[in-house]
Structure 1
């Protein structure tokens, strides 16, 4: 017998019983017997106990085999779905990691390039001693000095601070505190670390102010960010 479920075998048996019953009923003229055969053929599902003993084991084996195959297919399908989901998740995580790594590398390269430009600009910048000493200086002359001493990328921030502190007046004095010069150093004498002529030489003051911003904040632009938030630096 080929693979067959218990129900399938029962239906086949019921059909056979119906056919035999019909023949017997006709031959005997028994209406009741004929009706019983028709009822059996119509909807009854033969129980395993109704199947001949010699065929029960085969039917049970076929049923269990079919169930095992069905469960195996379901398990394979589930495992396949889980594997596909895991692969998609791994691919997504890899893509995110690669993107983050690329962005980090790009940022590091940009920062390195900016540092290089600033270092090159600084190496080309003039020191305070490179400027001839004059009895007085105009705002334009002081700004020209600053442009030659301050890295190009930092000059605007540097200029913003000087604009707010002294309007580029290297002899500006705060009447209340005594703060002095382009950067309103308090006390003004602290600018002596950049040169003894700090009171009369704007180049010396620029040198001191640039060093102060770099050492305290990291750069003139960082100092300007702090100034904007606090209105002092």
Structure 2
């Protein structure tokens, strides 16, 4: 069946009206976004700088705890350093006190030793004076009182040939002095301060010299016989 031109246009217009009406109804059925800013406020409050607020709070707490831990560590290190410094200072003070005590003890010991040495020297001088005063007679008689009997003749042989028993004898060429012709004569000061005039001092020094250098007056006499000096 063929529709007339007017009928066909009327159908097309009706279909178009139905399409437009359906589209409008569909548009009304789609939920529209709310324009109230208060509705999105909670979301904005939860997110800041791209991180949730809870994460930021946790990060802040961790930072504060780290700072407190660092401060506690620094305080502990400072306390330990002070304790070590105090211990070092105390040890140094103790060492200094000990050193001072040892130095004082050494000084006291030295003073005691010096005092003893002086006392011994004084006693020795007193004994020497006493010994000197205990001998009497001629130089030969004094020698007989000092030199052992087995060595007396050898000792006498040397003294006779050196000084003829003269305690003031001086060798004109060498300057040797006294009974035993000590060279220099001042050597005899080790036996006594009166070595220049006292035959006792000279004989004691000469006997000690012969014993020390040759072993005995007889050994010294043997050397003298071979060399004409001793």
TM-score grouping bracket, smaller chain normalisation = 0.3 to 0.5
TM-score norm. by structure 2 comes to: 0.42
TM-score norm. by structure 1 comes to: 0.42
Which of structures 1 and 2 has the bigger CA Rg?
2
